[in-house]
Structure 1
Amino acid sequence: MTKNQDAAALAKAQSPSLKQAAASASGRSALMGAIFLMATSAIGPGFLTQTAVFTNQLGAAFAFAILVSILIDIAVQLNVWRIIGISEMRAQELGNTVIPGLGWLLAILVCIGGAVFNIGNIAGGGLGLNSLLGLDVKIGGVLTAAIAIAIFLFKRLSDALDKFLVVLGVIMIALTVYVAFVSGPPVGSALKNTVLPDTIDWLVITTLVGGTVGGYITYAGAHRMLDSGQTGPDNIKAVSNSSITGILITGLMRVVLFLAVLGVVAGGISLTGETNPAAAAFEHAAGEVGLRIFGAVLWAASISSVIGASYTSATFLVPNRPEKKKLQNWVTIVFILISCSVFIFLGTAPALLLVFAGAFNGLVLPVGFTLMIYVAIFRQKDLLKGYKYPLWLIIIGVIGLIIAWFLAYVSFGSVFDLLSS
């Protein structure tokens, strides 16, 4: 046998293992992307404003609300990721299997809420680039949407989506950690209030839960996880660890942002009445540099939320089949284009529309999560492929479900109050 033949034979023998290694690496990358898609989808413009407002309102006691919301988030995502991961079916597919039409109802709720909030996400991208580079807000919003579209339009960029999300997440956390360090927050008081709060506001806690696992965010990471191939009963450990990691990353960002704002508030500066309390906090903490950092954080939060809302909404409208991947990308692009067009016409998302979208998001969590708990209890043999679902996970899931329905009640109560006023 010649040297060339030997080399060819060796390459042929090695090729299956090389392909397996490449597939494994691709799966890990997609799973990491799923973790950061869930985390960065939750960290949007509303997340930044919400955290600043509540920190200004509650001070160090907000630490307790953050802890409780993280625990509830873990209870929800542990169940959602595990059920979708084991069944290897998207949420709407599970819904239509259990009750014909339920999946499409869930898809409508996700897409309505996602579309309206996407207008706000694009507006946030414009504001971020305005603070960072001084660009006109509308130009910044269009540029943000264009970058998001390019990611789904060009295959090379689409393949790098998971890495892009990881980079955005790291940038947001690193910059906010710097501002938290500069602002000099009373860490001891924050730690004390984490377990022994001076005050407890359950409405704030339910609002936080809605902001981190409400609407499309509930399914963003779980649907992306299906693309990783690391699903089914054999991969249950990876699925569970990934869901917790995503929530902890979101929680870490919430904590460092809270500390950054707390340092400003504890220094005697009130953010009440500020048009953009988060931006004001960053500027008070680090001056002009702080404002530029806020712009970078806001833009990263906005574009990652644009990607998360658009991608997840598309997964609810397109079947989960390899041959439909290109169609899913085009639906995602159209979703971004529609949101961007409305933003250009209106300049921002109208407050009333955002309130109604919040109400829809308040429904998505309990409706979808009721489906998940039902599957966990009654459809283990068929939809979960014989997997024996842990009783402890069902118990914490039911507790989370009760809180989710309360959140929906509060959400729609706010809408009715607004309309009657």
Structure 2
Amino acid sequence: MSDHSPGNDETRTADHSPASSGKVAVEAQRFARSRKASLIGAIFMMATSAIGPGFITQTATFTATLGAALAFGILASILIDFAIQLNVWRMITVSGKRASDLANAAIPYSGYLLAVLVIIGGFVFNIGNIAGAGLGINAMLGLDPRIGGLISALIAIGIFISKKAGIAIDRAMIVLGLVMIALTIYVAIVSQPPVGDALRQTVLPDFIDFAAITTIVGGTVGGYITYAGAHRLLDSGTAGPENIKEVSRAAVNGILVTGIMRYILFLAVLGVVASGVVIDTSSAQANPAAQAFQFTAGEWGLRAFGLVFWAAGISSVIGAAYTSVSFFTVFFKNMTDRARSYTTVGFVAVSLVIYLIVGTTPAALLVFAGGFNGLVLPVGLTIFMYIGWFRRDLLGGHKHPVWLLVVGTIVTALTWYMGARSVVPIFQFLGY
């Protein structure tokens, strides 16, 4: 029958009726808002994970010992971040596969190795994150850090068992990220850092400390952080080559947010160090970042730091648990959403128990966590560079930019070199 038959005309008319068109428009707007919220959530999940208690403590510790020379390490971490996130986010989202599944498809069993390393690194991170959140509550309210860690872990668990956990996670990332940005900018302005010297040493450092750079890089883009935003996008349905522009924009925006925050935090602590204040980085109860905030703005500064540090800690607990558990699916293919939620709760609970039992000095653990994940980082990067160069068939027909692969390969080689130079110093953070 012809396409112009009455029946087809009626169908065509019904499809384009005002009511139907209005419904389609509403659904399209709802989808657009949902995707935008997921992209923003992914940005802040990466950003707040990258600017967690580990990075704050690492920045304060190394700024106290290296001074303005750390500016080069901050710049290096930002540039490395660009190369890593743009490559990894694009590959994961266009393939529609989680990092470990994509790795297994490219190199048999490599995904299992990657998953084990990320999960172990996630545990190390999360123990430190809970400790950091406890230190934040201690600085903010004076409670024992262990009690603060317990409270923070329970809050994180409450978010995950919520019926609207996805929405709660997205909103938590945005709110806590904005709190961190506003308070840190204030402290950076008040501390009046030597900006000129910092800018000079950003490109011409007096000396280079590879252990510090490896630790900073590991604390900002190592371990689970590399995959946090990309896995969040997969869960929200933002996958496939058709979304590559939005994904790339989200990755770049996330990197810019973290990069700016890293430098502002560095300047805030540098202002305190340059004023002649000696920050304790060695004693068992040392909390270098808290000292910097307190010296900058007195008692109010300490309380403000507590809020920032707690926000960083709780958001990083959420990010570490959420992303680390997403790697469990490579071992359990039929894992349901409910099982994932329970596993995530268990991940946080086990991390909490280890923190309460071991009682390792939080500051030392936070610095070590960054270093350890900096050592893990090159393994995953090597796998993804192999995919980019030799297994483009897994990328959904997407032509991955050659310049990104070249930069990513250079960065991968650099992370191997820095890791080899830093293994011993990193484990010395724990006294070994």
Relative to the length of structure 2, the TM-score reads 0.88
Q: Which residue does the alignment assign to 1:214?
A: 222
Q: Relative to structure 1, is the Cα distance of residues 138 and 384 closer, same or farther in structure 2, using a 3 angstrom cutoff? A: same
Where structure 1 has 5 or more consecutive residues not aligned to the other structure, the ranges are 1-8
Q: Which residue does the alignment assign to 1:406?
A: 417
Query: What is the alpha-carbon distance in structure 2 between the residues aligned to residue 405 and residue 111 of structure 1?
Result: 20
Verify: 1:185 aligned to 2:193, yes or no: yes
Query: What is the alpha-carbon distance in structure 1 between the residues aligned to residue 204 and residue 39 of structure 2?
Result: 37
Verify: 1:340 aligned to 2:340, yes or no: no
1:236-267 deviation per Cα after TM superposition (whole angstroms, max 9, x unaligned): 22111211222221112211111111111111
Verify: 1:298 aligned to 2:280, yes or no: no
After the TM superposition, which residues 146-161 of structure 1 pair with which residues of structure 2 at under 5 Å, given as runs?
A: 146-161=154-169
Query: What is the alpha-carbon distance in structure 2 between the residues aligned to residue 338 and residue 327 of structure 1?
Result: 16
Q: Relative to structure 1, is the Cα distance of residues 278 and 342 closer, same or farther in structure 2, using a 3 angstrom cutoff? A: same
Q: Which residue does the alignment assign to 2:14?
A: none
Query: What is the alpha-carbon distance in structure 2 between the residues aligned to residue 406 and residue 107 of structure 1?
Result: 23
Q: Give 1:10 shift.
A: 5.1
Q: Give 1:16 shift.
A: 2.4
Q: Relative to structure 1, is the Cα distance of residues 365 and 273 closer, same or farther in structure 2, using a 3 angstrom cutoff? A: closer
Q: Give 1:179 shift.
A: 0.9
After the TM superposition, which residues 348-359 of structure 1 pair with which residues of structure 2 at under 5 Å, given as runs?
A: 348=360
Letter in 2 for 1:307: I
Q: Relative to structure 1, is the Cα distance of residues 196 and 135 closer, same or farther in structure 2, using a 3 angstrom cutoff? A: same
Contact in 1 for aligned 2:132/2:149 (Cα 8 Å):
yes
Query: What is the alpha-carbon distance in structure 2 between the residues aligned to residue 347 and residue 204 of structure 1?
Result: 24
Query: What is the alpha-carbon distance in structure 2 between the residues aligned to residue 11 and residue 152 of structure 1?
Result: 38
Q: Relative to structure 1, is the Cα distance of residues 322 and 141 closer, same or farther in structure 2, using a 3 angstrom cutoff? A: same
After the TM superposition, which residues 3-402 of structure 1 pair with which residues of structure 2 at under 5 Å, given as runs?
A: 11-273=19-281, 275-318=286-329, 324-348=336-360, 361-380=373-392, 382-402=393-413
Letter in 2 for 1:224: R
Q: Relative to structure 1, is the Cα distance of residues 154 and 267 closer, same or farther in structure 2, using a 3 angstrom cutoff? A: same
Contact in 2 for aligned 1:129/1:135 (Cα 8 Å):
yes
Query: What is the alpha-carbon distance in structure 1 between the residues aligned to residue 158 and residue 374 of structure 2?
Result: 31
- Sequence identity, in percent? 56
Query: What is the alpha-carbon distance in structure 2 between the residues aligned to residue 419 and residue 345 of structure 1?
Result: 16
Cα RMSD of the aligned pairs, angstroms, is 2.6
Q: Relative to structure 1, is the Cα distance of residues 11 and 338 closer, same or farther in structure 2, using a 3 angstrom cutoff? A: farther
Query: What is the alpha-carbon distance in structure 1 between the residues aligned to residue 361 and residue 394 of structure 2?
Result: 39
Letter in 2 for 1:317: F
Q: Relative to structure 1, is the Cα distance of residues 107 and 411 closer, same or farther in structure 2, using a 3 angstrom cutoff? A: farther
Query: What is the alpha-carbon distance in structure 2 between the residues aligned to residue 86 and residue 215 of structure 1?
Result: 21
Query: What is the alpha-carbon distance in structure 2 between the residues aligned to residue 407 and residue 160 of structure 1?
Result: 38
Contact in 2 for aligned 1:128/1:295 (Cα 8 Å):
yes
Q: Which residue does the alignment assign to 2:3?
A: none
Query: What is the alpha-carbon distance in structure 1 between the residues aligned to residue 148 and residue 291 of structure 2?
Result: 20
Query: What is the alpha-carbon distance in structure 2 between the residues aligned to residue 200 and residue 301 of structure 1?
Result: 28
- Number of equivalent positions: 413
Query: What is the alpha-carbon distance in structure 2 between the residues aligned to residue 124 and residue 68 of structure 1?
Result: 25
Query: What is the alpha-carbon distance in structure 1 between the residues aligned to residue 319 and residue 428 of structure 2?
Result: 30
Contact in 1 for aligned 2:210/2:421 (Cα 8 Å):
no
Letter in 1 for 2:116: I
Query: What is the alpha-carbon distance in structure 1 between the residues aligned to residue 21 and residue 428 of structure 2?
Result: 70
Q: Relative to structure 1, is the Cα distance of residues 420 and 206 closer, same or farther in structure 2, using a 3 angstrom cutoff? A: closer
